[in-house]
Amino acid sequence: MAWFVLVLSGVLEAVWATALGRSEGFTRLTPTVVFVLGLVGSMIGLAYAMRTLPIGTAYAVWVGIGAALTAGYAMATGEEPLSALRVLLLLGIVGCVIGLKLAH
C-alpha cells in the first residue's frame, strides 16, 4: 500500500509543480488552488509512505516520478523542447525509480 500511495503522491507532485508554474506568482486563482490541493495531497502521501519505506528511497522515488512527469508533460504540451536525448534521460529517471522499487 505504501508504494501505491508513494506513486500517487509523486503524480500529485507533478500536478502541483505544473500548477505552480501556471499560477503566475499566485495571481491566477484556479492554478493556485490546484497547487495548494496538490501540494497538500502530495505531502500527506509522502509522509504516509515514509512511515514504512526508507526515507531516502521514498524521497528519491517521489522526486523522480514528479520530475519525470512534470518534464514529460511540459514537452508534450510544447512548453519545453522535445528531443530524443531529453526523452532518453527522463526514461533513465523512470528506470532508476523502478530499480529502487525492485531493490527494496
Structural domain spans, the chain: 2-103
Q: What is the pLDDT of residues 68-102, one digit of tens each?
A: 999 999 999 999 999 999 999 999 999 999 998 89
Q: What is the pLDDT of residues 41-74, one digit of tens each?
A: 999 999 999 999 999 999 999 999 999 999 999 9
pLDDT at residue 86, rounded to an integer: 96
Read off the DSSP letter of residue 80: S
Burial class (CB in 10 A: 0-12, 13-18, 19+), 41: middle
**Has residue 1 got a pLDDT over 90?**
yes
pLDDT at residue 104, rounded to an integer: 78
